[in-house]
Each structure stands twice: as structure tokens, then as C-alpha cells.
Structure 1
């Protein structure tokens, strides 16, 4: 049930697709989401785009090949699962899209079952339990 947003400063459609695949495969492997649980919005650099960042924050040198990955998912993963997920996303983003691991910025936003509606104005996960 994760919802993924990926913003890559210098990415064409092919690279965005590869990054999306990398994040999805890492989620399947590291935290066990179902293979068909795929909801992503992928955006690359456009003519009117401003991305600001510190190139050396926390001692990680990053450049304009920076890739932002935001994952909204149900809470409950352990710190070890999250660390494995970050590591696997960085590895697969490098393997699939050539992204340097230092340029892969990942943020998790956790929520609960009632925070999801997959359409029809219904919280399907809650409705299924009642």
C-alpha cells in the first residue's frame, strides 16, 4: 500500500521508469509489500523547475543527479527493515538507473489503515475489517 513520489532533477522517461522499478523492487524485497501494490508518481526535470538542496548536508556529497524518493506507507516497520529498504533502494537505483547511492534521498511518511482510500470515497482497509 505504499504511495511513492520520485522527483529526479535530470531524468528522462526511461530513467524515471528505472528508478520507479528500483524503489518498487526494494519495497517488495525489504519490507514484503505485494508485487501488485504499485502506486507511483514520477517526475523529472522540466523547463520550469527549481530544486534547492545543500550539496554536503550531514557529510554526504550530492550533486544535480539527486533523486528524491518519498514513500508514504502504513506504520509498523522496524528500524532494521527501514535501513534495509534504504540500502536496497540505493543499490537498485544504481543498478537500474545509474544513480549514485550518495544522490538517493529517501523519506518515509508513516500512517494508519484508515488514512487510505483507493477510490469511491471509501477507506477500503477499514471497510474490509467491519
Structure 2
């Protein structure tokens, strides 16, 4: 049950690019982590150049530019380092394939929590006591 926020910057960031980035992240989650294909909860936001709403630098020698995309994924804990690394690679590959976003501009963070930290509606903790995705 991941929850994904994608913030994209650039002149070409419209509904089509946002949709392509959302598909890229979702497909990577399905492939790399085995997330169910109908488990898609995303918030997609475009940021216009000139409004200065996103900041980035060349930290760790990665040159980022106005094509930057921030991907924040919240999910339940338990994935191995190898699976996380595979997820990062696949998101970068699919973001380039689907949206034309250069892999160097794909910045991903994962935040992990426990099953009881989720309510999927109706004021219930559906996963409390459950070990599913």
C-alpha cells in the first residue's frame, strides 16, 4: 500500500508528463516490489518555472536541472536494500522511457511505517494485524 507524491518542475510539465511519471512510478512499484496493480494512490503536482517552488543542487556530484522530479513514497517497512535499489533503478528507467525525464533528474525518497499507520477509508485501520502489501 504505497502512497506516492510526485513533484515535477519544468516548462513541459503538464497533465501528460505528470500522468507518464505516475505510470512510471506505479509500474516500477509493481515490478520491483510486487505491489498489486490496482493499488495506486498518488498525488501529482506540477511546478512552473519562474515561481521558484522547487529547489535542487548538484549534491553528491549529480547535476540536476529544471527537469527535476521529486518522488516521495510512503510504504510499510520490510523491503530489502536490494529491492529498494531495484525500485530506484526501475523508476529512473521508466521515467525516462515514459516521460523523457533524464535519470539524473529523478530524486526518490522512501518513508517506511507500520501496518497500523494506515487508514484506507471509513475511519478503519484495515491493515492492523495484517501482513499484506
Please classify the TM superposition score into its range, dividing by the shorter chain length.
Answer: over 0.9
Mapping of residues 1-130 of structure 1, within 5 Å: 1-10=1-10, 11-46=13-48, 48-54=51-57, 56-126=58-128
| Change over 3 Å in CA distance of 1:49–1:119 after alignment to 2 | farther
RMSD: 1.5
TM-score (norm 1): 0.94
Q: Tell me if the contact between 2:9 and 2:46 (Cα under 8 Å) persists in the aligned partners.
A: yes
**Unmatched 5+ stretches in structure 1:** none
Cα displacement (A) at 1:49 = 5.0
How many residues matched?
A: 128
Partner deviation per Cα, 1:47-105 (whole Å, 9 max, x = no partner): 75511121x10010110100000000000000000000000000000000000000000
Q: Scaled by the length of structure 2, what TM-score is found?
A: 0.92
Structure 1 runs, 4 residues or longer, greater than 3 Å off = 46-49
The worse-fitting range, judged by mean Cα deviation, of 21-30 and 45-54 is: 45-54
Gaps of 5+ in 2: none
Cα distance, 1:124–1:49 mapped onto 2, change above 3 Å: farther
Distance 1:51 1:24 in 2: 23
